[in-house]
Amino acid sequence: MYYGEIKKVDIANGPGVRVSLFVSGCTHHCVDCFNAETWNPRFGQEFTEKTKEEILEALAPEHIAGLTVLGGEPFEPDNQRVLLPLLREVRERFPEKSIWVYSGYLFDKEIQSTLPAGTVLPPDKAVEALLPGEGVNVLIVESGRERAEVWYRCGTPSPRAAGAQKPEAQGEDAPAEAAEQARARRRAMLHRAIDQAGDDLMSLSPEKVVIRLGAPYRSAHCEVTEDLLSLIDVLVDGKFIFMEKDLSLQFRGSRNQRLIDVPASLAAGKVLLRQ
Ligand code: SF4
């Protein structure tokens, strides 16, 4: 793993005075990214044992509230593998200090999901698995035969999508009614995508129809993800979306991003936001 910068006095990326590590490598390529040079996984310097010691030393003073890891994309699997020993050691040496991580991946979809591209799902499950604001190729297979492949953009309001008011913002933590509306919008847009392909998925028997998530569908989950999540206090998730940019927000750049209480969310099995 490479990193672009270590800030030893950072008050912008989490509560209190923090040490921040900006890792390199990011494949999200958000429009108006604040740190585009870190997209290159070889940007900056190599992260070594010496770097780890430097961070641990910077965390030692009493006035330092904790460590924040951002980037770049800390949850690119190659970065996760290097970050795990670092976060373990931070947790061990400084149990009273908090660990915050920023990720463009969604906690409950791309980070926790173990669904790789090519996964085959029945329509209802596919509607749940698709990502708000993301496009995927959906391959419709009936009785083992490929019927159509459509480009499906999920969660983007369309005048033709029934009930579309505004994009889903709070995911599973939204009130039940809002979550149901978001689901209805996704379903409506799936119908529309299928219609465009000259098919009507929902009129076909659900037992016969499956949806295969196409290549752009991504999961950041790897063999160390669960261990890494268990060490994080707060995850700020979601890509920076220029249209949702709001300078008045604390610790995040756009309204779609969520400040997730990771231990509480893992215990509850659903997304719980930091209070
Ligand atoms: S996730 Fe962060 S670093 Fe990556 S492109 Fe988006 S804003 Fe830039």
Which domain-ending residue is among 213, 238, 253?
A: 213
Q: Which residues line ligand 1 (CB under 6 A)?
A: 26, 28-30, 33-35, 38, 71-73, 104, 239-240
> Which domain does 186 fall in, by range?
116-213
- DSSP-derived letter for residue 251 is S
Together in a domain, 61 and 99? yes
Query: Does residue 237 carry a pLDDT above 50?
Result: yes
Together in a domain, 169 and 238: no
Do residues 135 and 99 share a domain? no
Q: How confident is the model over 186-198, as pLDDT tens digits?
A: 666 666 655 554 4
- DSSP reduced 3-state for 212: strand
The amino acid occupying position 204 is: L
226 in the same domain as 104 = yes
Percent of the chain predicted with pLDDT > 90: 51
Using the atom order of ligand 1, give the atom closest to the CA of residue 36: 8
Residues 129 and 209 in one domain: yes
Does 146 score more than 90 pLDDT? no
273 located within any domain: no
As a whole number, the mean pLDDT across the chain is 80
Across the range 22-39, mean pLDDT stands at 90
User: In the sheet where 145-153 sits, what is the strand order?
Assistant: 120-121, 209-213, 135-142, 145-153
CA of 33 to the centre of ligand 1 (A): 5
Residue 168 vs residues 59, 105, 171, 200: alpha-carbon distances, Å: 37, 15, 6, 25
Quote the pTM value.
0.72
Q: Is the pLDDT of residue 246 over 50?
A: yes
Total domain count for the chain?
2
More confident residue, 156 or 255: 255
Question: 112 alpha carbon to ligand 1 midpoint, in Å?
Answer: 19
CB 135 within 8 A of CB 151: yes
Q: Which residues, in sequence order, are CB contacts of 157 under 8 Å at separation 6+? A: 164, 165, 166, 167, 185
Query: Which pLDDT score, from 0 to 100, does residue 120 have?
Result: 67
CATH of the domain at 63: 3.20.20.70
Residue nearest to atom 8 of ligand 1 (CA): 33
Residue whose CB lies within 8 A of the most ligand 1 atoms, among 3, 27, 73, for a mutation test: 73
User: Which of 76, 101, 102, 239 has most ligand 1 atoms within 8 Å of CB, for mutation?
Assistant: 239
CA of 73 to the centre of ligand 1 (A): 7
> Measured in angstroms, how far is the CA atom of residue 259 from the centroid of ligand 1?
16
Query: Which residue has better confidence, 179 or 40?
Result: 40
Ligand 1, residue 71: give the atom nearest the CA. Answer: 3
pLDDT for 158 beyond 80? no
38 part of a folded domain: yes
pLDDT at 108 over 50: yes
Q: Say if residue 154's pLDDT is above 60.
A: no
